[in-house]
């Protein structure tokens, strides 16, 4: 089992503005760190590249460094054991009190104006979907501004179908 301390820090966004690229469906365990190299989240994925993009849009300021251990023969028990070992004594926010912010789709309803929130319950379903999509687009624009300010060149495409429910996900 790899020790987290033995793995190198990799910039979340490199000098060319790219997220570390891995072959499609590359399985592994990863640890995300903030600018001060404080552990923020530990997880595993069947597709490391997609997961790194997901976490970056959900927590753009906290995703500054990453450590990765790739697995050739995926085994959920082994992956979970590595996550447990890496988080022991660490208590990263993304694996604790802020887990929803790291692991769930972004709920854009919080970004409704007071006027939109007041009108929403009275709207018909189609109008609600249109409003939620509009709010999701505003939140998406804010996220993309933050990422572009960091020099991100990796393409980020949000799922258009979830926007109609007021959710952002890749």
Per-residue pLDDT of the chain (170 residues; tens, 9 = 90+): 899 999 999 999 999 999 988 777 889 999 999 999 999 999 999 999 999 999 999 999 999 999 999 998 888 999 999 999 999 888 899 999 999 999 999 999 999 999 999 999 999 999 999 999 999 999 999 999 999 999 999 999 999 999 999 999 99
| 45 contact partners, CB below 8 Å, separation of at least 6 | 27, 28, 30, 51
Q: The pTM is what? A: 0.91
pLDDT for 126 equals: 96
Helix (H, G, I), strand (E, B) or coil at 135: helix
| 121 contact partners, CB below 8 Å, separation of at least 6 | none
CA–CA separation, 25 and 41 (whole Å):
20
pLDDT for 14 equals: 95
pLDDT for 1 equals: 82
CATH class of 4-103: alpha beta
Say if residues 19 and 52 touch (Cβ distance below 8 Å).
yes
Domain ranges in the chain are 4-103, 107-168
Q: Could you give the C-alpha distances from 88 to 3, 17, 76, in angstroms and in order?
A: 12, 32, 18
pLDDT for 73 equals: 85
pLDDT for 109 equals: 94
The single-letter DSSP state of residue 13 is S
């Amino acid at each position: 089992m790899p020790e987290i301390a033995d793995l190198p820090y990799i910039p979340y966004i490199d000098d060319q503005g790219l997220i570390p690229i891995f072959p499609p469906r590359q399985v592994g365990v990863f640890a995300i760190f903030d600018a001060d190299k404080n552990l923020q989240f530990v997880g595993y994925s069947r597709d490391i590249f997609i997961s790194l993009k997901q976490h970056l849009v959900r927590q753009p300021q906290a995703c500054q460094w990453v450590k990765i251990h790739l697995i050739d023969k995926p085994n959920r028990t082994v992956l979970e054991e590595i996550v447990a070992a890496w988080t022991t004594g660490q208590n990263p926010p993304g694996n604790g009190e802020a887990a929803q912010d790291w692991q769930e789709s972004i709920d854009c309803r919080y970004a409704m104006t007071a006027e939109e929130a007041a009108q929403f319950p009275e709207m018909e379903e189609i109008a609600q979907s249109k409003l939620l999509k509009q709010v999701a687009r505003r939140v998406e624009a804010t996220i993309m501004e933050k990422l572009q300010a960091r020099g991100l060149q990796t393409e980020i495409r949000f799922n258009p179908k979830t926007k109609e429910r007021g959710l952002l996900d890749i």
